């Protein structure tokens, strides 16, 4: 689930208890676009800041709340938007709003990317009918999540799992992108129909990582039945190689995902003599990298085991 997300708060920003702020804590790939003034927003200034953040080739999903949602139709010329979540878009034609807020309104435009508009049935700033019409004009899906106010901090949504799942589904429609943090301390050594195989740069343990190439997958429940079966087969083959080639006493297999939410499965060969035994290797001590770039004793790792070579097209 590593497709980048730009978080676009509304008028006066999103505080610490707002779900947007909590999402940024849940996943470092959810990044807020800051503005010079949250209190007196300028359409052109807000728009310029977001377009600047979008000026990369990286597929990006936008998540806008309130005025941040109203900003999204003004960004249609950006080429790398992979999807958008527009939460609680306000009814900007109301006469009591300041002029600088009403400037965010624009004529109907069809969004050239998948989008979902989320509305509350008792939002004080927009009727359900207006929100549904807004979604229809954009060519977006519409979700009515019931009576939850303006879907802000006052709505007491916490991390808002319902909204997070809608975001995950949008990310699942984007091209697969491996979380760049997975490649920082590892080297890519193989590729199957489903997964990439990484070798972690740690000299004390034979440590491999399987990364299914499925956008939006945070855990195995997000994979199809066939993909789950294939991942289990690949994992079993990798465990057998670790046991046979590295004389391990136990193979630890784990998919934590608290830091990198994208589904990835660690396979770590353990022995009675290793420095962390019998505890987990996570948090035991600082990583000990190889003195040469990720060779990690290349001769000992240069296996061509049929259980893996039949699945992965390239090994060390």
In this predicted structure, the answer to whether residue 299 has a pLDDT above a threshold of 50 is no
* pLDDT tens by residue, 146-205: 999 999 999 999 999 999 999 999 999 999 999 999 988 898 988 898 999 999 988 899
* pLDDT tens by residue, 50-101: 999 999 889 999 999 999 999 999 999 999 999 999 999 999 988 788 999 9
Residue 12: HSE in the Cβ half-sphere, 13 Å Cα cutoff: 5
In this predicted structure, the answer to whether residue 276 has a pLDDT above a threshold of 50 is yes
Question: Domain 4-172 is in which class?
Answer: alpha beta
258-284: burial string, b at 16+ Cβ within 10 Å, e else: eebbbbbbbbbbbeeebebeeeebeee
Place of tokens 């109301």: 94
d(CA 283, CA 279): 10
Looking at domain 180-309, which CATH architecture does it have? 2-Layer Sandwich (3.30)
Under DSSP, the state recorded for 39 is S
- The answer for residues whose C-beta is within 8 angstroms of residue 271's C-beta and 6 or more apart is 247, 248, 249, 250, 277
In this predicted structure, the answer to whether residue 307 has a pLDDT above a threshold of 90 is no
Residue ranges in 119-198 assigned as alpha helix (H): 128-138, 161-172
Cis peptide before 278 (omega within 30 of 0): yes
Rg (CA), the chain: 23
**DSSP state letters, 232-287:** HHHHHHHHHHHHHHH--SEEEEE---SSS-S--EEEEEE-TTSTTTTS-STTTS--
3-state SS, residue 50: helix
Average confidence score pLDDT of the chain: 90
Tokens for 117?
Answer: 């508009």
d(CA 275, CA 123): 57
Q: How far apart are the first and last CA of the chain?
A: 27
pLDDT score for 310: 53
**Helix, strand, coil shares, percent, the chain, to 5:** 30, 20, 50
pLDDT score for 301: 38
Q: Which residue spans of the chain are classified as CATH 3.30.428.10?
A: 180-309
In this predicted structure, the answer to whether residue 300 has a pLDDT above a threshold of 80 is no
142 and 135 Cβ atoms separated by less than 8 Å: yes
20 and 32 Cβ atoms separated by less than 8 Å: yes
**Given pLDDT bands bounded at 50, 70 and 90, which one contains residue 107?**
confident
d(CA 176, CA 212): 10
Is beta strand 81-87 parallel, antiparallel or unpaired with respect to 115-119?
Answer: parallel
Provide φ and ψ at 152, rounded to 5°: -125, -165
pLDDT score for 121: 97
pLDDT score for 90: 96
In this predicted structure, the answer to whether residue 305 has a pLDDT above a threshold of 80 is no
**Given pLDDT bands bounded at 50, 70 and 90, which one contains residue 8?**
very high
Burial class of residue 104 in the structure, from the number of CB atoms within 10 Å of its CB (0-12 exposed, 13-18 middle, 19+ buried): buried
pLDDT score for 311: 53
- The pTM score is 0.88
Place of tokens 């990439």: 196
Nearest of 158, 180, 159 to residue 168 by alpha carbon: 159
* pLDDT tens by residue, 193-223: 899 999 998 889 999 999 999 999 999 999 9
Tokens for 210?
Answer: 């399987």
Torsion angle of C-alpha atoms 169, 174, 177, 181, degrees rounded to 10 = -50
């Amino acid at each position: 689930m590593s497709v980048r997300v730009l978080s676009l708060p509304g008028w006066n920003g999103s505080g610490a208890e707002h779900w947007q702020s909590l999402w940024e804590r849940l996943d470092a790939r959810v990044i807020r676009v800051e503005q010079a003034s949250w209190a007196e927003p300028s359409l052109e200034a807000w728009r310029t800041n977001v377009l600047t953040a979008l000026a990369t080739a990286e597929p990006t999903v936008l998540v806008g709340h309130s005025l941040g949602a109203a900003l999204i139709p003004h960004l249609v010329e950006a080429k790398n938007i992979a999807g958008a979540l527009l939460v609680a878009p306000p009814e900007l034609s109301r006469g009591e709003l300041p002029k600088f807020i009403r400037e965010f309104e624009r004529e109907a435009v069809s969004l050239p990317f998948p989008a979902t508009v989320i509305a509350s049935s008792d939002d004080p700033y927009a009727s359900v009918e207006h929100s549904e019409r807004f979604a229809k004009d954009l060519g977006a899906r519409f979700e009515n999540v019931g009576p939850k106010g303006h879907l802000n901090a006052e709505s007491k949504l916490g991390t808002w799992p319902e909204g997070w799942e809608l975001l995950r589904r949008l990310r699942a429609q984007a091209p697969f992108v491996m979380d760049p943090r997975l490649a920082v301390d590892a080297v890519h050594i193989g590729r199957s129909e489903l997964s990439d195989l990484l070798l972690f740069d740690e000299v004390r343990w034979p440590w491999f990582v399987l990364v299914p190439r499925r956008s939006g997958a945070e855990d195995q429940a997000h994979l199809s039945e066939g993909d789950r079966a294939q991942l289990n087969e690949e994992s079993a083959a990798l465990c057998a190689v670790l046991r046979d080639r590295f004389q391990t006493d136990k193979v630890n297999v784990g998919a934590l995902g608290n830091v990198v939410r994208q589904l990835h499965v660690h396979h770590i060969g353990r022995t009675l003599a290793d420095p962390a035994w019998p505890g987990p290797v996570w948090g035991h001590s600082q990583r000990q990298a190889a003195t040469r770039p990720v060779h990690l004793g290349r001769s000992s790792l240069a296996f061509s085991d049929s259980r893996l070579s039949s699945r992965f097209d390239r090994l060390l």
